[in-house]
Structure 1
């Protein structure tokens, strides 16, 4: 694991949270905590704990992206009231996703063609409501390119971002496109100046096929007016100001685009988003609850369910809202793990565990064991983008104790490799 990045633990004074903090510290990993009460946190976690985020509500509402930009994963334990406040700043980075009804005036992309240099080429960017992979909306970069008057390029470019995008945690950009057999360029700028160096890479497309194109930041080269600038500063992924897509007659340094043809062209674009190299490990580990899908499940015998399921309404629909929180995480684009423990106990760790999906199991599990699962998940590609329930094999009615002279062997991994990323999470299909 990259120990130069800080791990944020939300709800760090709770039963699971403080154990997570302790385990991370024992592994020598840098930790920052999000809590409600500073005095309580320092008393429980020690005077040296990093409390850069104070969790008084009036402070949480002022937290911005810069507070979490230096963090690697986030471990969110069961601290009511904290979840909704940090969620907006942990969204997956996505630069374009088409929406039906978006007018051209509202789109962040605008045409930048060779007319600025006397040419006659022209292009546009619009939303095709039915041109997507599955009949849904897609973006469409299209136009007519001509070499008249020494022209030969068309492009679309975003407006400068009001705040630079920091993609230093990512390895490149992924474009989901329907190719036309031509070669295009992606240009990223790190300066607000209009006519300046653009960090550029080219990519080929396959005619009439949807494809995902990965453009690593390491492939970018500093280009100004189709010429390499050898003394330009290296690309800085933490200072991205704008993006540009181009179809051009020219490659770089006098070379020509081998696929260039004058006339009409079009490139459907489904998404542009940042990606991380494989293997991807969870960046967000969330402790939820077993039972979150059960209150509204038809045909369920509530008399055989835990109290939280039977009394969901009386408890302010707590499980309903926990499920909504899970859904937001799953939809965010962040690599995640959602742990749904059964009833939490203060018993020691060490019992054998049962991992399951579908939200059907009942039982118990120690808080210490859940903390171990959270810490293990951070480093496990097999836990990425999975939701699962977990309990001990010990019946709820049977106390679990550990013989100090013969303690159980510590588990160093979690058994998630056989779990599905596409499980229905207990919902109806």
Structure 2
């Protein structure tokens, strides 16, 4: 089995920030905090007018080129929540970026649902091929490919929306507290 390479670990979470549904008129409140254990998100998620809380990485400069890998491995203490891992890529196709930026300030995001254990650490592999394209939680039907050679940002969310176009069957409003320990590639 090939060795995992850490992309993000406890010392790399300092610049991550919270992005909650308040940007859409919601009232969820959560804060990201970096520590020696990883990145925690603590707060309250409210379903009405949004229904999400998240931690987001800064935009990577230079972009991450992970084209020699097959997927991500995340280590998370999620306390039984179904989370969503989002990855943004930079596309050089004329007009594509502008199209998605006009539809959503966050643009195109590749997502995977992550079911976590109620107790302890969940270790989950997310193959690049399993990531699904989405804009504002809606499925994208355009023929577009995940660009593992130009990854620009990561996001970890708890949202009432799960897979593109679907509700999250593991969504729980109320107090939330999870810990992202690391993101590796394999």
TM-score, structure 1 normalization: 0.38
Work out the number of aligned pairs and report it: 171
Partner of 1:139: 39
Partner of 1:212: 123
Work out whether 1:119 is the aligned partner of 2:26.
yes
Work out whether 1:109 is the aligned partner of 2:16.
yes
Question: Any gaps of 5 or more consecutive residues in structure 2?
Answer: 91-96
SS in 1 for 2:161: coil
Q: CA RMSD in A?
A: 2.0
Distance across 2 between alignment mates of 1:96 and 1:171? 16
SS in 1 for 2:129: helix
Map 1:389-408; keep pairs closer than 5 Å.
none
Relative contact order (alpha carbons < 8 A, sep ≥ 6): 1 or 2 greater? Answer: 2
2:111–2:163 CA contact under 8 A, matched in 1? no
Question: Any gaps of 5 or more consecutive residues in structure 1?
Answer: 1-91, 130-136, 276-429
Partner of 1:157: 56
Work out whether 1:265 is the aligned partner of 2:152.
no
Map 1:339-358; keep pairs closer than 5 Å.
none
Higher helix share: 1
Higher strand share: 2
1:222–1:232 CA contact under 8 A, matched in 2? no
Q: 1:125 to 1:232 in 2, by over 3 A?
A: farther
Partner of 2:75: 176
Q: 1:222 to 1:126 in 2, by over 3 A?
A: same
TM-score, structure 2 normalization: 0.84
Larger Rg: 1
2:109–2:133 CA contact under 8 A, matched in 1? yes
1:95 to partner: Cα distance: 2.9
Alpha-carbon displacement from aligned partner over 1:360-417 (angstroms, at most 9, x marks no partner): xxxxxxxxxxxxxxxxxxxxxxxxxxxxxxxxxxxxxxxxxxxxxxxxxxxxxxxxxx
